């Protein structure tokens, strides 16, 4: 498989004169945007039918959760097709963060939790309890919050103790930090999680959270296209990881799909290089021929 994949990559790369053509950051951004568009098509035309087929007859929570996860991925890509300008960098980076975190979670659910959503279910109830307690501190008369606290509070506290060792709420369903989860997910299946968390995740957070706005003061204008381009590259990568893990989760991944993902990898690369090849032709032609 690796030999065939490498051969396909070489054939695509041969079309570019990389010694004389040096794409601009704008051209690279357009190339990664094209790969995201191809990924959107794959999710709509290939992923959705497979996941629906494997989950349609099951009323179980895992089936509902799997379809919800796919819908979240689809919604991000529907947004991405509209984010085609460097000034959209904040939304692009928010998407790259979301796709990274989703990929980490799916990897842990499949390879560490034995495809069980129990941890996420405990965390979901834990969030509700934290909300109810906070809402009652703010508004003691809120009936919905009080009803949940009275009917489910003891159960949720016990579930916390069973899952995490004490009754405190956790920021993540695993009970660990995102950094620790990224490292563990990479140990289970190397996917670039640890590298992204340490190199790109902090920067994505700076440009997503309002408190990071002061970082823009020292950011040269020509850096904004880089943020979008890097975000699109990471989105394309982690969306493939997420889709693969989701298909493993629903029991749809097999040898045939291994070939499909090999072809997908080449299709994303081809989409990038079609854009760059056009840019190369325009650069070679010179301004008088445009």
Output the tens digit of pLDDT for each of the chain's 290 residues: 444 444 455 455 556 666 666 778 888 888 889 999 999 999 999 999 999 999 987 778 888 899 999 999 999 999 988 888 888 889 999 999 999 999 999 999 999 999 999 999 999 999 999 999 999 999 999 999 999 999 999 999 999 999 999 999 999 999 999 999 999 999 999 999 999 999 999 988 888 887 767 767 777 777 788 888 999 999 999 999 999 999 999 999 988 888 888 889 888 888 888 888 888 877 766 555 44
Residues with Cβ within 8 Å of residue 283, at least 6 apart in sequence: 21
Q: Which residue has the tokens 């290939």?
A: 46
Token couple for 278: 């056009």
* Cβ–Cβ < 8 Å for 166, 160: yes
* Cβ–Cβ < 8 Å for 268, 240: yes
Residues with Cβ within 8 Å of residue 280, at least 6 apart in sequence: 16, 17, 21, 23
Burial class of 25 by CB neighbour count within 10 A (0 to 12, 13 to 18, 19+): middle
Q: Which residue has the tokens 């690796």?
A: 2
Give residue 21's pLDDT: 67
Measured CA to CA in angstroms, residue 247 lies from 67, 139, 241, 244 at distances of 11, 44, 10, 5
DSSP string, 80-109: HTT--SGGGHHHHHHHHHHHHHHHHHHHHH
Whole-model pTM? 0.88
Token couple for 196: 């992204």
Q: Enumerate the domain spans of the chain.
A: 27-114+174-284
The whole-angstrom separation of Cα 238 and Cα 185 is 13
Positive or negative, the CA dihedral 81, 82, 84, 89 is negative
**Best CA proximity match to 174, nearest among 118, 130, 251:** 118
3-class SS at 183? helix
Give residue 135's pLDDT: 96
The total number of residues written for the chain in this structure: 290
Give residue 284's pLDDT: 67
Give residue 3's pLDDT: 45
The whole-angstrom separation of Cα 263 and Cα 94 is 28
Q: What is the CA radius of gyration of the chain?
A: 22
Give residue 1's pLDDT: 45
Q: What interhelical angle do 48-55 and 224-249 show, nearest 10?
A: 30
The whole-angstrom separation of Cα 141 and Cα 66 is 37
Give residue 223's pLDDT: 79
């Amino acid at each position: 498989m690796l030999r065939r994949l490498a051969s396909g990559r070489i054939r695509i790369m041969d079309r570019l004169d990389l010694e004389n053509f040096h794409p601009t950051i704008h051209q690279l951004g357009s190339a990664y945007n094209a790969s995201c568009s191809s990924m959107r098509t794959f999710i709509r035309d290939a992923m959705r039918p497979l996941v629906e087929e494997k989950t349609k007859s099951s009323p179980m929570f895992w089936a509902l959760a799997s379809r919800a996860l796919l819908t979240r991925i689809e919604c991000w890509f529907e947004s991405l097709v509209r984010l085609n300008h460097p000034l959209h960098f904040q939304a692009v980076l928010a998407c790259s963060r979301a796709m990274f975190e989703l990929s980490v979670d799916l990897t842990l659910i499949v390879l560490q939790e034995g495809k069980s959503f129990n941890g996420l279910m405990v965390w979901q109830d834990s969030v509700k309890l934290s909300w109810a307690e906070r809402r009652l501190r703010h508004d003691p008369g809120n009936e919905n919050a009080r009803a949940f606290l009275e009917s489910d509070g003891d159960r949720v506290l016990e579930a916390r103790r069973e899952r995490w060792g004490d009754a405190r709420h956790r920021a993540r369903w695993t009970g660990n930090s995102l950094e620790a989860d990224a490292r563990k997910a990479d140990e289970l299946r190397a996917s670039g999680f640890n590298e992204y968390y340490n190199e790109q995740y902090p920067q994505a957070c700076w440009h997503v959270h309002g408190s990071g706005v002061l970082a823009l003061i020292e950011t040269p204008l020509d850096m904004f296209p880089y943020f979008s381009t890097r975000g699109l590259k990471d989105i394309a990568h982690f969306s493939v990881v997420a889709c693969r893990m989701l298909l493993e989760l629903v029991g749809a991944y097999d040898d045939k799909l291994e070939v499909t993902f090999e072809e997908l990898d080449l299709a994303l690369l081809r989409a990038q290089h079609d854009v760059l090849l056009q840019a190369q032709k325009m650069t070679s032609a010179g301004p008088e021929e445009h």
